[in-house]
Structure 1
Amino acid sequence: MKHLFALLVNFAVVLPAFASQYFVATNGNDDNDGSIDSPFKHIQYAADKMDAGDVTYIRGGNYFEQVTLSGVNGEEEKPYTFKAYQDEKVTLEGTIAINNQWTKYQGDIYQTKLEQPIWQLFVNDKSMTSARWPNGNWYDRSVWDKKQSMMWPEKSKGKFGTHYNKELAELETDLTGAIAIVNSGSFKTYQKKVTEHKKGQDHFSYDTKGANEHFSYKGKIHRQGYFLEGKLALLDEENEWFFDPETNQLYLWAENGVSPDTLNVRGKVQSYAFIIKRSSHINLEGINFFATTFDVSRSSFIKVADSELMYPSYSKRMLGDASTIDVTKMLVKKEHDLANYQLQNCKIAYTDGPAIEMNGTGNLVENCYMHDIDYSCTHKGGFTLNMMNAKELVFRRNTIHTTGCSELFKAGVRNRIELNDLSDSGHLQNDGSMVQLSVKQQPNGIVRYNWVHDSVKQGIRFDNKNTPNAPYGNNGHVFNNVAWNTDRIYFKGDNHFVFNNLSFGSHLNDLIVSSNKVIQGHNLKTITRNNISNKFSGNRTKPRKKYPVPGIVDHNWDGVTLGKDVRTQLRDPDNLDFRPKADSDLVDAGVVIKDKINYFLGKAPDIGPYEFGAEDYWIPGHQAEKASKPVPPLAAVKVKLDADLMWLFGYQASIHQVYFGDDENAVKSATSTSALYQGEFSHNIFTPKSLENGKTYYWRVDAVRADKVIKGDVWQFSVEDKTNNSE
């Protein structure tokens, strides 16, 4: 018995402490015990009861509250976890319902009086446009067209802080007190109060305190585009609204001029629904945010995963407040402070302000999808994602498109930027690039396996000042990227490694390793090998003959020099197949770069980012639950007769099941017993047995994850028709 007692004591000592589980539901009560059958009502109430290792499960529904965690510290193996229960949709809500009775103001504009101020308005979960001039909104993409959604001052009149336009006199209102959002050059956009204007005047002045003309537009007032907000008279089209903070009167012109009494109208009254400060080891999983977001400060080991942030941030200009926008934040005090923030498998869309602010060391942003980011560009400069102070960040498998700021991703020290799909950026400011590494951020920075495309901005840029004796970056690594239909990919500095990239269709030269003659030693030690481009040079616009590429330069394929186009070398680049043709100049024509290239097929590496004969085709960007991003793309035409079908794996899927045929409905309904079933694939390339000229085909890829089959969408493509080709 004595030995048995000792055994029991020892056994009890090694038993792990059992974590507590709490449940929260919209129909709960804080007087309950917090079990699944008797849940709490408020997340904060559950949070106050938690210890390290505990989990609070949140049942489906919308929650309006502000949860604050201060000085809450979990452990690596015992974090505090807040998690959506199973697959239920949980949304933290930043709006309140506006159920007031509306009356007509004039025309199709209705009005009602509120009890508290709001600074963003939603109708049926769609954000209305703040009354502005000129008009611009998200729904027809006009907000991203600066020629349409911004006004441009007259060239021969005005100065910094005073703009002339004859159209101003037609507004029939005094603009004093309005807010002017002004792009004064490159990445400098300000929101400033109009200080001087009278009804009928063709000019106005605004407060320039704290603002300045960026050198790129200095003295060029006609290039300083702007728009105006903050006046009822600017409400002149449907889906616009205005709130008067002095009278608490709300005005709305709803779609088709219908009465708001028949609509679901809500107003934003909260910036942050989840605040974490001076805390560690906290996880938020599967929690969505609508018209609100989270604020993490001076904390570490915070993870936000599987979340959707819709309209997370918006300026308070409607309230006459031109201060800094409350945006999504994960910040420590200094760049070198340990952060270990993780943002994984999240979606962020429709913001005024950047997608997220993040700094500190050791962060991860992975498998996120961000779009329609920052229509005013007024938050601390021109960055969609400013990671300049995020040291040793891994930025992987993200898709980002449709942005306003000049810079899409501003990298930090020793960042690894890989497998991202970046496009359609920088609409509202000049200058900039989709991936930008400044001088201090270039050493040991890695940019690899990305697609950067279809943008007025540069694809990838290593930047520095173009003045004698100015410091410049070095030892950056850029390889296996694809850039097309961008401004260029462009590298300043020295001792970089630029290899196995593909760049074509640029507005200027495609691939530029700068031979800046002002800065001595510029790129003289840079190694540039195994790249393919149509226009390869040491200068942005001048040909290679006049500006030779400096440094060690060999085994590159240059279309201008060879008198060929990259399309003669690649399988089908217009339909996103960037692999080399079997008979191209690229196969086995590259060279091994010691300690840089560890994998290749054949006698030597191929030139370019893809190896001929590889079993997989790498496709960058966000992985959805379903298989996605088909190659050829959806509804592609003129697909080659020898096309392979390729896709991006479903998120965390291990294998995929492929269906293929010429009948859309048959492919949609096919099962694994159907003749259309092509089998299971652990790789992402399927080669049809034969394709016919001019014919349309349909295919479907189902993802298999943990024995769960996630049915894919039906994709289609049409094969090139050569029947009437005289050649």
Structure 2
Amino acid sequence: MTTSGKLKVKLLLTAVGLIAGLSLVAPVIAVDYYVATNGNDNNQGTIDKPLKSIQAAADKMKAGDITYIRKGQYFEQVNLSGVEGNKEKPFVFKAYQGEKVTLDGTIAIKNKWQKHSGHIYKTTLAEPVWQLFVNEKSMTSARWPNGNWYDGSVWNKKRSMMWPEKGKGKFGTLYNKALSDLAVDLTGATIVVNSGSFKTYQKKITEHRKGQDHFSYDTTQTKVHFSYKNKIHKHGYFLEGKLALLDEENEWFYDVKSKQLYLWAEQGVNPEILNIRGKVQSYALTVRHSKHINFQGINFFATTFNMTQSSFINVEDSELMYPSYSKRMLGDNSPIEVTKMLVQKEHSLSNNQLKNCKIAYTDGPAIEMNGTGNRVENCYMHNIDYSCTYKGGYTLNMVDAKELIFRRNTIHTTGCSELFKAGVRNHIELNDLSDSGHIQNDGSMIQLSVKQQDNGIVRYNWVHDSIKQGIRFDNMNIPNSPYGRNGQVSHNVSWQTDRMFFKGDNHFVFNNLSFDSHQNDLIVSSNKAIQGHNHKTITRNNISNKFSGHRTKPRQNYPVPGIVDHNWDGVSLGLDVRSQLRDVDNLDFRPKANSSLIDAGANIKGKTGVFLGKAPDIGPYEFGALDYWIPGFQDRKTSKPVPPILATNVKLDADLMWLNAYKSASQQVYFGEDFSAVKQANNKSPQYQGEFQHNIFTPKALKAGKTYYWRVDALREGKMIKGEVWSFTVMQ
């Protein structure tokens, strides 16, 4: 072979080698799988031949693959273990093109029923259930005294709890004359006790006879708390676990021994004509030892997810209805199996996210999280934890979640003493929290304990309409004890709460508004028993009616410690905050045009943001700002109008403001004096006021006593989402 021939062969072999090498490193093409209720797990998982179960798809997937789930209810338990994607190639499970996908933890009960007595029917079950639904509405476990979600009575301690007689009883034995009227031996029933503080426990009744005015319950294996043995008359309780306690409609009972299910349906109808379902599983989705998995648009009904020792998990655009419920009906008093996103240790990197989700109607907390770097953002939670029996008094216990971002969430109607228990270096902003702590005593809506205050940031929140404290920095009230330091609280609005209360030292409390509290409005504690207590705290640019160093006593008796300047104190001036702000009763907290708050604040280096005029204003809002910050959950439509829906006595110079829709680019405003005209208007109608990048619209001269209607549509991803029609009436 000639030299040139050898060269040609060598070049050819080199080219072949390069091609082979390239084929070895060629990127693996991600695969899309499809799941549908009418699929088959023997299919390939294409859109035309989908799989039937999510688990079958999960078993086929590799990093970067996507499983699309078609609409419908899925009754399965999906287990993911050792599934590891990466940032560029996560495992993805999502609802197909916005279709409604629900993981359901119930079974249908289509039995024949027979009358038991009165309006109560019964049937025999092949499988025990521990929560019962009629037409997707949860029934109430038979209890005494009665209480349920739907008329709000479960949140009313005076109605839904019984109270021991004063001067009688002890820890483990309670007296009440009303017990004599119960035609039942309560031995073996369960008592759920709110001990008078932030502790609740559940125990078995060990001694009672029908007609007795007292009973005893098991106190063994109970870690003693100071509230258990003191002030027994404050131990509110309710009883479950006896058929004889089923005495009103929408209550139910399951007898474990006889396997009989009992129900008093609404209006006493035969349950055979109703859609009856029973909860039979706690978790429809379990994730262990996994990383980088995204779940989008997947809903849960009467079941939830349990993610342990897993990180970089994202749950987004999901709805969790009745996700957790105790098994007390089965005689099981073990901890409730609640929604979890956990890593092995609190110091472990987590980076789990819960975004744009709704959680409602739980027995137990909304979610439990730990680890470093989590995010809970744009979530709406309500009717959370009516029994408070899970690990103490927290609706959201994030004490082991370091560097959590808790942002733009709305939470209301909760049972536990503390709504949000913050972790180390948590960033808590733009949340709307209200109506909390109905079942337990003590507590706060935002709580930072001693170790969690250092570099914790609480800002731009509304906390309101609660018997609990709005925001609290707490510590041990023991002389010379360790206490919290270096917290930052700014630009919050608190009204109709117990108080805003800050213990510790070296905090920065600035530009907050607090008024109409049950005690003093803004308290920077001057506890003289603790050396150095708040002596280095800076309190500046705040406005409140009652400003003090003590929860009840006036500032004159308890001066605020530390550096205190540029604050507006209503009591000292003989004025109310309403004299300085636009319309606090209709949620407009901006300074009036002639307010003494304008340009009266101090410029705080490294803290103060953009301000208008010569200096910052006192309080959380800046006069003349183009936008009005409104905290809380952003829905798919515009929401939270200011003035509120059906507001009366709106001022003649009112601006109209709203919370932008989630991920909206701009808004179109419609305004007029006729409901139908505003509802039907388009951008060619006289009611159309224009497209807005900001969220403030100033109508032309309003008339006293007149009712007006308005609508704000949202532009998102090129589509216009029509808003609801709101109304308000101008004051006479």
Report the TM-score, using the length of structure 1 for normalisation.
Answer: 0.98
Deviations for 1:33-62, whole angstroms, at most 9, x for unmatched residues?
Answer: 100010000110110000001111100000
Q: Give the count of matched residue pairs.
A: 721
Is 1:41 aligned to 2:52, yes or no?
A: yes
Tell me how far 1:217 sits from its aligned partner.
6.3
Tell me how far 1:594 sits from its aligned partner.
1.2
Tell me how far 1:11 sits from its aligned partner.
7.5
439-448 vs 156-165, greater mean Cα deviation: 156-165
Q: 1: CA distance between counterparts of 2:223 and 2:215?
A: 17
Q: 2: CA distance between counterparts of 1:673 and 1:11?
A: 59
Q: 1: CA distance between counterparts of 2:41 and 2:342?
A: 32
Equivalent residue number for residue 531 of structure 1 = 542
Contact 2:171 2:228 in 1 (8 A): no
Letter of the 1:495 partner, please give it. N
Equivalent residue number for residue 503 of structure 1 = 514
Letter of the 2:316 partner, please give it. A
Letter of the 1:295 partner, please give it. N
Deviations for 1:11-44, whole angstroms, at most 9, x for unmatched residues?
Answer: 7678642111110000000111100010000110
Equivalent residue number for residue 672 of structure 1 = 683
Letter of the 1:245 partner, please give it. V
Equivalent residue number for residue 659 of structure 1 = 670
Letter of the 1:539 partner, please give it. H
Match of residue 542, structure 1, among 545, 549, 553:
553
Deviations for 1:158-204, whole angstroms, at most 9, x for unmatched residues?
Answer: 00111101111111100000000001131110010001101110001
Equivalent residue number for residue 3 of structure 2 = none
Unmatched tracts of structure 2, length 5 or more: 1-10
Equivalent residue number for residue 103 of structure 1 = 114
Unmatched tracts of structure 1, length 5 or more: 722-727
Tell me how far 1:490 sits from its aligned partner.
0.3
Is 1:94 aligned to 2:105, yes or no?
A: yes
Q: 2: CA distance between counterparts of 1:217 and 1:644?
A: 52
Tell me how far 1:209 sits from its aligned partner.
1.9
Q: 2: CA distance between counterparts of 1:659 and 1:89?
A: 31
Contact 1:185 1:213 in 2 (8 A): no
- Give matches, 1:184-333, under 5 Å: 184-211=195-222, 214-216=225-227, 218-333=229-344
Q: 1: CA distance between counterparts of 2:520 and 2:457?
A: 23
Contact 2:246 2:253 in 1 (8 A): yes
Letter of the 1:68 partner, please give it. N
Contact 1:515 1:548 in 2 (8 A): yes
Match of residue 26, structure 1, among 13, 30, 37:
37
Is 1:398 aligned to 2:406, yes or no?
A: no
Letter of the 1:352 partner, please give it. D
Letter of the 1:327 partner, please give it. V
Contact 1:364 1:393 in 2 (8 A): yes
Aligned-partner SS, 1:185: coil
Is 1:147 aligned to 2:158, yes or no?
A: yes
Letter of the 2:380 partner, please give it. Y
Deviations for 1:101-143, whole angstroms, at most 9, x for unmatched residues?
Answer: 0000000000000001000000000000000000000000000
Q: 2: CA distance between counterparts of 1:423 and 1:629?
A: 14
Query: Max radius of gyration: which structure?
Result: 2
Q: 2: CA distance between counterparts of 1:708 and 1:484?
A: 37
Deviations for 1:476-522, whole angstroms, at most 9, x for unmatched residues?
Answer: 00000000000000000000000000000000000000000110100
Tell me how far 1:211 sits from its aligned partner.
2.9
264-273 vs 7-16, greater mean Cα deviation: 7-16
Equivalent residue number for residue 725 of structure 1 = none
Q: 1: CA distance between counterparts of 2:44 and 2:50?
A: 7
216-225 vs 468-477, greater mean Cα deviation: 216-225
Contact 2:288 2:309 in 1 (8 A): yes
| Structure 1 residues 121 and 36: alpha-carbon distance in aligned structure 2, compared to 1, 3 A threshold | same
Letter of the 2:379 partner, please give it. C
Match of residue 464, structure 2, among 410, 435, 453:
453
Letter of the 1:455 partner, please give it. S
Equivalent residue number for residue 171 of structure 2 = 160
Tell me how far 1:213 sits from its aligned partner.
5.8
Deviations for 1:191-229, whole angstroms, at most 9, x for unmatched residues?
Answer: 100011011100011111233564356431110000000
Q: 2: CA distance between counterparts of 1:598 and 1:712?
A: 32
Aligned-partner SS, 1:119: coil
Match of residue 175, structure 1, among 186, 199, 210:
186
Is 1:646 aligned to 2:657, yes or no?
A: yes
Q: 2: CA distance between counterparts of 1:407 and 1:129?
A: 25
Equivalent residue number for residue 516 of structure 1 = 527
- Give matches, 1:578-727, under 5 Å: 578-721=589-732
Q: 1: CA distance between counterparts of 2:430 and 2:24?
A: 47
Contact 1:184 1:212 in 2 (8 A): no
Aligned-partner SS, 1:486: coil
Contact 2:353 2:375 in 1 (8 A): yes
Q: 1: CA distance between counterparts of 2:341 and 2:526?
A: 39
Letter of the 1:528 partner, please give it. T
Letter of the 1:146 partner, please give it. K
Q: 1: CA distance between counterparts of 2:331 and 2:279?
A: 15
Letter of the 2:511 partner, please give it. N
Of all paired residues, the percent bearing the same amino acid is 74
Q: 2: CA distance between counterparts of 1:343 and 1:335?
A: 18
Match of residue 148, structure 2, among 127, 137, 140:
137
Equivalent residue number for residue 95 of structure 2 = 84
Match of residue 489, structure 2, among 466, 471, 478:
478
Q: 2: CA distance between counterparts of 1:213 and 1:11?
A: 68
Contact 2:668 2:713 in 1 (8 A): yes
Match of residue 349, structure 1, among 352, 360, 363:
360
Q: 1: CA distance between counterparts of 2:162 and 2:273?
A: 35
Aligned-partner SS, 2:458: strand
Letter of the 2:705 partner, please give it. G
Deviations for 1:649-676, whole angstroms, at most 9, x for unmatched residues?
Answer: 1000010000000000000000011111
Q: 2: CA distance between counterparts of 1:4 and 1:687?
A: 72
| Structure 1 residues 658 and 9: alpha-carbon distance in aligned structure 2, compared to 1, 3 A threshold | farther
Q: 2: CA distance between counterparts of 1:642 and 1:218?
A: 57
Contact 1:71 1:279 in 2 (8 A): yes
Q: 2: CA distance between counterparts of 1:133 and 1:528?
A: 48
Aligned-partner SS, 2:174: strand
Deviations for 1:609-660, whole angstroms, at most 9, x for unmatched residues?
Answer: 0000000000000000000000000000000101000000100001000000
Aligned-partner SS, 1:86: helix
Contact 2:65 2:90 in 1 (8 A): yes
Aligned-partner SS, 1:718: strand
Aligned-partner SS, 1:578: strand
Tell me how far 1:332 sits from its aligned partner.
1.2
